A and B are shown apart, each in its own frame.
Chain A
Amino acid sequence: MSKAKLRSLGALCAAGAVVFGLAACGTGSSSGGSSKTSGGIKIGPGVNASTKTISLGVLTPLSGPVAGPIGIPLTAGQQTYWKAVNASGGIDGWKVQLVERDTKYDPQTQVTQFNQISNQVAFIGESLGSPTTAAIQPMLDQLKMVTGAAAQDSKFVTDPVMAVIGTPYAVDVANALDYLVAQKGLKSAKIGIIYQDDAYGQDGLRGYNAGLSTYHFNNVAEATYKVTDTDFTGQVQKMKSAGAQYVVLTAIPSAAAAIVGTAASEGYTPTWIFQGPAWSEFLMSANGLPSGKPTPVAKALAGHVWVLGYQAQWGDMSAPGMAKFLADTKTYAPTQIPDYYYMYGYAEAKVEAAIISKAIANKDLTRQGFLNAKLNLGTVDEGGLIPPVTYTSTPGPAARETAISVVDPATPGFLKLIRPYFEGAAAKSLTF
């Protein structure tokens, strides 16, 4: 007994000594990454001057439930773009390679994986997800690493290091309400919203409320669900009994399909307004193509669903960048089916190529150099795949435009455009 006491006392003393010793030392800021100069160009981490290669990190779910519908196609889109760039001689002779790591859409895994690659990459080409990206945000800020955040949350667009493309969720919903109330003049239409109980859903709701205070429409019901829910009878019943004719769905595809299916089985068929991430071509057929076996909800979706988005229709040749996009896809990802996350990844890589190009022109390939390039990028033409992306030193959303499509079983990709890009008054009123 006395031995144990003695031992514990000793350990406590030692521990105390260590703590006080350390406290006396204090800490200091580490110098953020060493930089060298090679051939008149400043070189930072992840940039190899001898092979003229720039490495970009990709932190994305490659396993788990988010991988199949989002993580894998989005990354494939990025790969296609970079393969095409590298094959055509690179950006001013510089090749780009991706360092991919699986995050499983789990913040803890995201942190460990980021730690593993942070010294090997110039910046993060893709960080998918809101909670995951938020977990590494302090490190990104500290290391001044430009990050292609594949998350449409309003909160990322104000961080200088975050290169977010596309239109924030809130702006999409606000624009949809503009189309409904201001453009179609449905002032007395009964409108409701079902949103996911997380950051994504909150952002959709923010746009809904902005629309409400701008257009004063007839808001009849609001319902929420948890991402793990499988039964949506309560939410559907709420909309049905309130008599909602238009229902905004800020949801994920599995929930959206279940909600529409539940409503259809009860004979309730309002017009559903899907937030972009609620949509997936796999809701319509088993293989995501019009030729595939239709899913049980395909009938309920056809004609009754609008999809909000900022992306061009797959195969819409009126977009000047579509031909190149399809050609690249055919060459480098021949098995890729029409998929909007794939297109998103491609468009995201295109912005990053512009950042790299500007950094090369500035002869500064350090992290600070890439950040400076991003903050002074100006407007990048996306060839109509998505609205033009604008980055300036005052961060804000890259775009505030939305296009609306209707689900059509006959169209490749199942979406037929009914309203091209526009920006409504409520969208303008949203501040970031």
Chain B
Amino acid sequence: MSAVAVSRRRGHRVKGRTVLLALIVIGAVLLPFALNAYWLSTAVFVVIAAIGAVGLGVLTGYAGQISLGHAFFLAVGAYTAAVLGGNDHLTAAIWLPAAGIVAGLCGAIVGPTALRLRGLYLAIVTIGLVFIGQHVWFNVPAISGGPGGRAFPPVQFGSFNFGVGQQMTLGGVVIDHNGLYYYLSLLLLALAMLYVFNLQRTRVGRAMQAVRERELPAAVLGVNLARTKVSAFVISSFMAGVSGALYASFLSFVIPDQWSLLLSIQYVAAIIVGGIGTVWGPVLGSLVIFALPSILTSLFPQTSAGGVPIDDITSIAYGVLIIVFFVAEPRGLVGLGSRLAGLARLIGARRRPPRSRIQETQPIEGEEAT
């Protein structure tokens, strides 16, 4: 493969990607004006969840550490927000980052277990985290309000209040409570994605991917296993903390029961369905997993006279999606996308005089499933 051909093709792809990215950004920014309150609040939940999923994507997707403890870190972030914002009445400019930092510290404490355990064993230990966490949330009312749950503060920066009934008028355009949360979450999601996008090309990011592929050769190559794994845990937990804080704040009231193993599984499902080891995968996956119940609910409206049991359908759909993607497309929705793009290029190439077709179909950045 000649270097010129590669760079030319890359240039072509980069241009296409920039256009696509621009379209997505414009679409995401204009979205609230096209949605009613039901879909907008669904969108807020999806975007908030996507922040956490991007975090899990770093840990599981890039560093290859399977964790079912994500719900614990989400909860730590949420309760940090509740204590600092709710009990101590601090501004969101403090509690939002603090939620990430405290969750990140918890990640740093848990991280070292990953040095001794791998794969399923690590997954089981992280399940333990969820249950230890729930035990604490159920029994320390000062933090969590006890089994009955507690209220969470709305995001507020000085005079800038995201609470219910607040709205902002920008040049005649009114953005309500849902819209405010949407844009804040979208901004944070964009920052998280940008960070991960850059991270994967740095020394730490490449070290993570080396660890994921095989630990021993990575160590032989000079990768510091301890540092790499712990930093993956810290980054992942930080994002989970911020996501959890936003989630609880938007929901305004949370019971400890909600930070359950099922929540962790939803996040794992999101990154599997979306595409492991990619920047966009967790976002696409969140879109599917966290919007699915709302979509099904609106497709099959329930009445007291009867209807389709949505709860069961959603659970079945999660399971089917995970199996289908593992069997048919382990690279997830992102893989599906690049496969479609490859197909489109192939068709395009057929129309033009044949060039080196083999190169066209070779994936360039596609990752093998782990």
Q: Residues on A close to B: CB < 8 A? A: 1, 4-5, 8, 11-12, 15, 18-19, 22-23, 25-30, 32, 60, 62-65, 71-72, 75-76, 79, 100-102, 104, 107-109, 111-113, 115-116, 118-119, 130-131, 134-135, 137-139, 142-143, 153, 155, 197-199, 201-202, 227
B191 at the interface (CB under 8 A from A): yes
Option from A1, A71, A113, A135 in Cβ contact (under 8 Å) with B38: A113
- B174: chain A residues at CB < 8 Å are 30
- B201: chain A residues at CB < 8 Å are 1, 4
**With contacts A100-B303, A130-B148, A197-B147 known, is A142 near B167, CB below 8 A?**
no
Interface stretch among B98-106, B158-166, B361-369?
B158-166
Q: Is the CB of B304 within 8 A of A75?
A: yes
A-B contacts, 19 of them at CB < 8 A, read A5-B198, A15-B190, A22-B170, A23-B158, A23-B160, A25-B168, A27-B159, A63-B311, A100-B304, A104-B310, A109-B293, A109-B297, A112-B41, A112-B42, A134-B149, A134-B151, A134-B253, A137-B151, A142-B165
- B164: chain A residues at CB < 8 Å are 138-139, 142
Interface bits B145-187 vs A (CB < 8 Å: 1, else 0): 0111101001001111111111111100010101010000001
Interface bits B325-367 vs A (CB < 8 Å: 1, else 0): 0000000000000000000000000000000000000000000
**With contacts A18-B187, A107-B254 known, is A62 near B303, CB below 8 A?**
yes
A300 to B257, CA, bound (A): 31
Q: Is the CB of B310 within 8 A of A102?
A: yes
- B158: chain A residues at CB < 8 Å are 23, 26
A113 to B312, CA, bound (A): 19
A414 → chain B, closest Cβ, in Å?
A: 24
**With contacts A15-B191, A115-B40, A135-B252 known, is A63 near B304, CB below 8 A?**
no
Other than the given A28-B169, A112-B38, A131-B254, 4 more pairs (CB < 8 A) read A112-B42, A119-B37, A135-B252, A137-B151
B309 at the interface (CB under 8 A from A): yes
Q: Is the CB of B149 within 8 A of A131?
A: yes
A107 to B293, CA, bound (A): 13
B222 at the interface (CB under 8 A from A): no
- A101: chain B residues at CB < 8 Å are 302
Q: Is the CB of B161 within 8 A of A27?
A: yes
Option from B42, B148, B254, B294 in Cβ contact (under 8 Å) with A199: B148
Interface residues on B, range: 35 or more
- A23: chain B residues at CB < 8 Å are 157-158, 160
Q: Is the CB of A107 within 8 A of B45?
A: no
Q: Is the CB of B251 within 8 A of A108?
A: yes
Q: Is the CB of B178 within 8 A of A25?
A: no
- A15: chain B residues at CB < 8 Å are 187, 190-191
B266 → chain A, closest Cβ, in Å?
A: 11
A30 → chain B, closest Cβ, in Å?
A: 4
Interface bits B221-263 vs A (CB < 8 Å: 1, else 0): 0000000000000000000000000000011111101100000
- A116: chain B residues at CB < 8 Å are 36-38
- A112: chain B residues at CB < 8 Å are 38, 41-42, 45, 294
B24 → chain A, closest Cβ, in Å?
A: 13
